[in-house]
Amino acid sequence: MSRQPPRLALTPGEPAGIGPDLVVRLAREGSPAELIALADPALLIARAQRLGIRLSIEDFDPQAPPRPTQPGHLSVAPIALAQPCTPGRLDPANGHYVTRALIQACDGCLDGTFDAMVTAPVHKGVINDAGIPFTGHTELLAERCGAEPVMMLAVPELRVALATTHLPLCEVPRAITPERLRRVILTLDHDLRSKLGIHKPRILVCGLNPHAGEGGHLGREEVEVIQPVLAELRSRGLDLVGPLPADTAFVPDKLAQADAVLAMYHDQGLPVLKHLGFGRAVNITLGLPIIRTSVDHGTALDLAGTMEADLGSLIAAVEMATEMAGSAARQSRRAAT
């Protein structure tokens, strides 16, 4: 159940990376949302002191009414590090600390304690070195929620969702099945409506091959898979354009008439989006029963403990989670009347 202001679970991610830095810098600025960091308080205090930031920390009280985060203050749901942390130095002993924060944030969203979760970057390698099978935030949340998520990145000018995510390029064609494409498009359409408040989203769908297959002469995926699925879903009322050649799908006149672009694979769509807005883009996980946003960058171990990391993407992720929580609340109120 959403509140005013929304209550957001904030996971700082890898403790040796820039996530804790960004969290304390964000707390210094304050937020219209209530930010609850799921972290070791000692880690946040130490990082704030290293950065020269005055920070007042208080224990999170889930029974208290939500309130905006005041500059220089932060509520924390404490989770203890296994070992003290040095900025820039990975320690597998803290792998379980990272995943525990994610699980608690997810479960808190599922039970209504939080309205959304916002994640800072994790280091997959050190989590696996801790003996935890881990391929990413999205996969962990999907398993926890029993869902099949869709990855979408957004900047103010563009939203790009992916039909496939982290696959070798040679595996992409056989992964684009009618079942997968249908599920991804329906999820994208549904969440654009329910989580972003877009009444009837128009989605541009890229082809897989150059020139969208050139009528079957440059590949058969468009003819045999993509076109039939789009025709079926159009008959169900979805507003879909394509399949379009990817080299012209992102031109300004087409984007001006669209709410999102569906790319067939990771590097078909994300280079365009990141060229437009790297450092202010938001990673949004669609298809979950919860709201989750994330930054568009990694742990940047070499910048940890400095003021050099860009805060823009975390600010954008918090703003997007706040907007989505508000939209979900409006949808719930309309459904109840």
Annotated ligand binding at 94? The verdict is no
Annotated ligand binding at 195? The verdict is no
Pairing relation of β-strands 7-11 and 260-263? unpaired
Say whether domain 148-287 belongs to CATH 3.40.710.10. Answer: no
The CATH classification number of 1-147+294-309 equals 3.40.718.10
Judged on CB neighbours under 10 Å (0-12, 13-18, 19+), 194 is: middle
Residue 187: the pLDDT is 98
Annotated ligand binding at 209? The verdict is no
Give the separation between CA 277 and CA 160, rounded to whole angstroms. 12
Residue 318 parent element (H or E)? helix 312-336
Annotated ligand binding at 211? The verdict is yes
Two tokens, residue 153: 């990145």
pTM of the shown model: 0.90
Whether 1-147+294-309 shares its CATH topology with 148-287 is answered yes
Annotated ligand binding at 266? The verdict is yes
Residue ranges per domain, the chain? 1-147+294-309, 148-287
Indicate the residue type of 326.
Answer: G
Residue 184 parent element (H or E)? helix 178-194
Annotated ligand binding at 283? The verdict is yes
Please give the DSSP secondary-structure letter assigned to residue 89.
B
Give the separation between CA 179 and CA 138, rounded to whole angstroms. 20
Two tokens, residue 195: 């989580």
Query: Over the chain (337 residues), what is each successive 10-residue block's mean pLDDT?
Result: 82 97 97 97 97 96 95 98 96 96 97 97 93 88 94 94 93 97 98 92 98 94 98 98 96 94 96 87 95 94 96 95 85 66
Annotated ligand binding at 199? The verdict is no
Cα of first residue to Cα of last residue in the chain, in angstroms, is 16
